A and B are shown apart, each in its own frame.
Chain A
Amino acid sequence: MNLAIFVLIAWIIITVYLLVPKKLNLNETILLFFFYTIITITIFTIIDLNLKLIQHSNKTESFISLWVHRNIIIPMSLIILVNLILTFTSKVKKYISIILSFSVLYSIDLLAYWLGQKTYHGSNQYFASAILDTTLILIAYVMMKLVKKLPEGEST
């Protein structure tokens, strides 16, 4: 069931991506998807293997759902968020999309704990998840700004 739930969430996220207006072109989207995935995996691995704070389950099904969560759900959610930020001109709408994305990421994170995909070994699981998701959103925003600043033409 664990895997089915996460595959369904990934499917919904991809559907939402297809529906939202896209302000990033193909090259920017691919580039940001690569960056977001690399960063998410790196952060998850450091927290898991080095800090042993949030450890993933060794059951194959749970691990595959973590894989879907880490490699598809989080990067695609961040891609949707930066597209929304670029689409909206009003600051209120931008903040609403950030809060909405945070809520989605946070809820999926809590669901992952609840389904035993990963376990927390610190003092406050809810706070740790909030910090992790906020960090990912901040990095996503900074990376988007950097990629948007890159020139479109031939490299020199």
Chain B
Amino acid sequence: MFLIYDQKFNSNELFIIASLTIGSMLVWKLPRRFTIKESLIYLSFFIFLGVVFDHTISIEPFDYYDVNDSSAYQFMDFLSYLSFGPFGYLYIYFYDYFKIKNKYVTIYIFVWTMSALAMEFIAQALGVYHYKNGYTIFYSFPIYLFILISHLCVYKWIHNKN
């Protein structure tokens, strides 16, 4: 079902632009730890899985939520996916920087999962996400866990190969 939630430039657009700007600045300002290609992989992994998951469960036959002002795909939706990039990069950056030991990995992933849920909660409150058909933020918990574990697997795979 096609729905329009609002047509103004307001909180959801501002949240996306602010998170994308702050995230990109952090990525830009932090001292480099990876090669350009590796950095691009860590930046694009979250965008990749964000797009894959969103375009799987947010469209029919599942149709669990809409992103931004309407059910249609808008430029702001694309920017919202780009804003996932710095989050994924920083997740790997700090894992590498603090050299997290294996026994603390589950705690590290849990902390980032909770941060992702907090970000989603704020985004949802500001109108970025509109849940439908019984979907709640709690269903995002296993999705984030899966994404963050996969991201770490990709990092370890690349790191070992290089």
Residues on A lying within 8 angstroms of B by beta carbon are 26-28, 30-31, 34-35, 37-38, 41-42, 44-46, 48-50, 56, 58-60, 63, 67, 71, 147, 150-156
- The answer on a CB contact under 8 Å between A38 and B51 is yes
Q: Give the complex CA separation of A44 and B40 in angstroms.
A: 24
Known A45-B55, A71-B52: A31·B47 in contact at CB below 8 Å? no
Q: Give the complex CA separation of A155 and B36 in angstroms.
A: 5
Q: Give the complex CA separation of A153 and B70 in angstroms.
A: 43
Q: Helix, strand, loop or mixed for chain A's interface? A: helix
- The answer on a CB contact under 8 Å between A155 and B73 is no
Known A49-B72, A58-B60: A37·B32 in contact at CB below 8 Å? no
- The answer on a CB contact under 8 Å between A150 and B52 is no
**B30 → A minimal CB distance (Å):** 11
**Using an 8 Å CB-CB cutoff, how does the interface string of B131-162 with A read, 1 for contact, 0 for none?**
00000000000000000000000100010011
**A34 → B minimal CB distance (Å):** 4
- The answer on a CB contact under 8 Å between B32 and A27 is no
**Using an 8 Å CB-CB cutoff, how does the interface string of B18-46 with A read, 1 for contact, 0 for none?**
00000000000000101111111100110
- The answer on a CB contact under 8 Å between A150 and B158 is no
Q: Give the complex CA separation of A58 and B61 in angstroms.
A: 5
Find A155's partner among B35, B59, B61 (CB 8 Å cutoff).
B35
Residues in chain B near residue A27, CB distance under 8 A: 35, 37-38, 41, 158, 162
**A136 → B minimal CB distance (Å):** 16
Known A30-B154, A49-B71, A71-B52: A38·B37 in contact at CB below 8 Å? no
The 7 closest A-B pairs by CB, nearest first: A27-B37, A34-B48, A155-B36, A34-B44, A155-B32, A58-B61, A45-B73
Q: Give the complex CA separation of A18 and B158 in angstroms.
A: 18
Q: Is residue B78 within 8 Å, beta carbon to beta carbon, of the partner chain? A: yes
